[in-house]
Amino acid sequence: YQYYVDEGEGWEITPNVSIRTAVMEEEWDWISIQHGTGDGSFYTKKECYVNLQPLVKYVRELAWDGVKIAFNMAWSGEKGKKHHEIEYYDGDHQRFFENIVRTTKEAVATVPEIDIISPTGVAIQNARTSKIQTLTRDGFHLTMDAGRYIASLTFLKALTGMDIEPIQWVPQG
């Protein structure tokens, strides 16, 4: 994996870093896990998560005793965009979303070593059904403004329980 560290003046990026090295680098308060992109069906097949519990146990064994584990829920592809993950669902991003929710409930929420699940996918879907339709750069990766802003507020709320309603800063665009 690439290991990113914010040094205050930009990101320091180290290639080829193992999970072991990254976890043991610091006494993390939280470690977040997210299913990687690839074939969209992977998000919706419970059997693709069989290694999640062993992975979380491994991370817990490496980390200090106080660490908490978060799982960042994925979001579906964007309606009308050509992307292999959306095409797996014949362009039906609602069905894609519903399968992500089902799999999160059945395969992620059942892992007792995960402390919280950030409902990022739900937040993105809710934004799409309100006023904001374009939240990705390429049909799947979130835009640098509204998409990532919604994801970050959702993650902040999940991690801290903080009331995000009073936050007035918004990104340009």
Range list of H helices, the chain: 19-24, 52-62, 84-87, 93-103, 120-128, 146-160
14: amino acid identity, one letter = T
| pLDDT at 15 (0 to 100) | 96
Contacts of 86 (CB under 8 A, 6+ apart): 40, 76, 77, 78, 93, 96, 139, 140
Q: Is the pLDDT of residue 44 over 70?
A: no
**What pTM did the predictor assign?**
0.88
Strands 11-14 and 30-33: unpaired
Of the pLDDT bands very low, low, confident and very high (cuts 50, 70, 90), residue 165 is very high
> Residue 47: what pLDDT?
75
Q: Which residue has the tokens 């799982």?
A: 71
| pLDDT tens digits, 68-87 | 999 999 888 887 777 777 77
Q: Is the pLDDT of residue 153 over 90?
A: yes
Q: What is the pLDDT of residue 134?
A: 84
- Does the CA dihedral 36-42-45-46 come out positive or negative? negative
Backbone angles phi, psi at 118, to 5 degrees: -80, 120
What distance, in Å, lies between the first and last C-alpha atoms of the chain? Answer: 31
- Region of 172 (left: φ > 0; alpha: ψ -120 to 50; beta: rest) is beta
